[in-house]
Structure 1
Amino acid sequence: MVLGALAALLELEPDIAVVAKAANGREALKAAEQTGVDVLVTDIEMPGMTGLEVAGALKVSRPGVKAIILTTFARPGYLRRALDAGASGYLLKDRPASELADAVRRVHRGLRVVDPALATEAWSAEADPLTDRERQILQRAGEGRSSGEIAGELRLSEGTVRNYLSEAISKLGAANRVDAARIARAKGWL
């Protein structure tokens, strides 16, 4: 429903054409790679691939395609990760539709668009101490997977998984893996 509503709102703009819609991250990446899309509007949390993963993949496969993250997550950690992944815009869903259309136009022209209040907050926010691998493992641990399951999924030894979890727990000052995942998620690092 949200996807259809966003597409319909953007279609009302005389200078914007919606060339594809996708229900998950993998479909979005495929559509962006196979169509003449200039700007991709995506959420952070999607099935298949996150919006951050899609933005990162496009940065490599179709560097001319600009990505705008449209989300409910007003967390500086997510903003930093989005920009690091190659996103050109980061907007919150509670903004008026006209701001999204304006953001699409501005990003298309090569500008960067970031929610002003969130940008200010991100400027002084604590930096993400986690490595990409720690983040991958902590995300899975936070979903309830065992060290053995994580090891099999990521093709690592259980000892290596435990070492990464221990590092993440230590960096976050957490009591255990669940607490570490909670802390990291609250800060927008997962």
Structure 2
Amino acid sequence: MIRVVIAEDQKMLRGALTSLLKLEDDIEVVAEAADGLAAWDAIMEYQPDVCLLDIEMPSMSGLEIAEKLKQENHLSKVIIVTTFARPGYLQKAIDTQVDGYLLKEEPIDFLIEAIRSVKNGERVLSTDLAAALFLKEVNPLTEREMDVLRLAKKGMTTREIVKALYLTDGTVRNYLSSAIQKLEVTTRQQAIEKAKNKGWI
């Protein structure tokens, strides 16, 4: 029996996935979670064979969970399920060595077979995502510029970012200005949107 934890913040989709997987004789959904922290707790409690994780969830993303599991040498396999074919996300997933990376538009049969394949030690990638790998853009932002944009994305003011990163006001403004220039946009908000859409923050 393949024991699965499903983490998906959209209730209807999570319920549908659970119902469909329960129809399979060799798959058991041991827990469902609506956000990253609940997913982490469920994984620690149930020790599933496969974790089915949405990429964008409140409190912790699917990729952050995958990174933590890798750091702890956890045996659970990870399949990231996403709406986004963003090269930046895909590259992060590959760097984290997740076991599967699937688009939500895939047929349910594809997902079920992916769970079985991943349990058997194989890697699975949606066909459409393979093309995204070849279109991979190099991220022009430095680690610090990404840090500043991530905090700005959370709605922090320049002053709050200064305190959070222990930097001076001028340094934070320089990072923001540099990020805006590199991303070829004109405002902080546009820089956040572009970096987010590319999967860089």
Q: Which segments of 5 or more consecutive residues in structure 2 lack a partner in the other structure?
A: 1-11
User: Which of 102, 125, 129 is equivalent to 1:91?
Assistant: 102
Alpha-carbon spacing, 1:62–1:21, altered in 2? closer, same or farther (3 Å): farther
Q: Which of 163, 167, 172 is the aligned partner of 1:152?
A: 163
> Higher strand fraction: Structure 1 or Structure 2?
2
Partner of 1:122: 133
The alpha-carbon distance between structure 1 residues 144 and 117, as it changes in their structure 2 partners (threshold 3 A), is same
Aligned 8 A contact 1:43 1:70 in 2:
yes
Equivalent residue runs for 1:136-147 within 5 Å: 136-147=147-158
Q: Give yes or no for contact 2:89–2:200 (8 Å, CA) kept in 1.
A: yes
Is the 8 Å Cα contact of residues 55 and 80 (structure 2) preserved in structure 1?
yes
For residues 31 and 145 of structure 1, do their structure 2 counterparts lie closer, same or farther at Cα, with a shift above 3 Å needed? same
Q: What RMSD in Å do the two structures reach over aligned CA positions?
A: 2.0
Normalising by structure 2, we get a TM-score of 0.84
> In the alignment, residue 104 of structure 2 is paired with which amino acid?
K
Q: Which amino acid aligns with 2:96?
A: A
Which deviates further from its counterpart, 42-51 or 60-69?
60-69
Task: Describe the shift of the 1:10–1:126 C-alpha distance in structure 2 as closer, same or farther (beyond 3 A).
Answer: same
Instruction: Sort the Cα spacing of 1:165 and 1:66 in 2 relative to 1 into closer, same or farther, 3 A.
Output: farther
Shift in Å, 1:36: 2.2
Deviation per CA, 1:132-172, whole angstroms, max 9, x where unpaired? Answer: 44323212313432112223344544444334323422332
Question: Following TM superposition, by how much is the alpha carbon of 1:102 offset from its aligned partner in structure 2, in angstroms?
Answer: 0.8
* 1:28 paired residue number: 39
Aligned to 1:19: 30
1:113-140 Cα offsets, whole Å, 9 max, x none, are 1111221222232122334443232123
The number of equivalent residue pairs is: 190
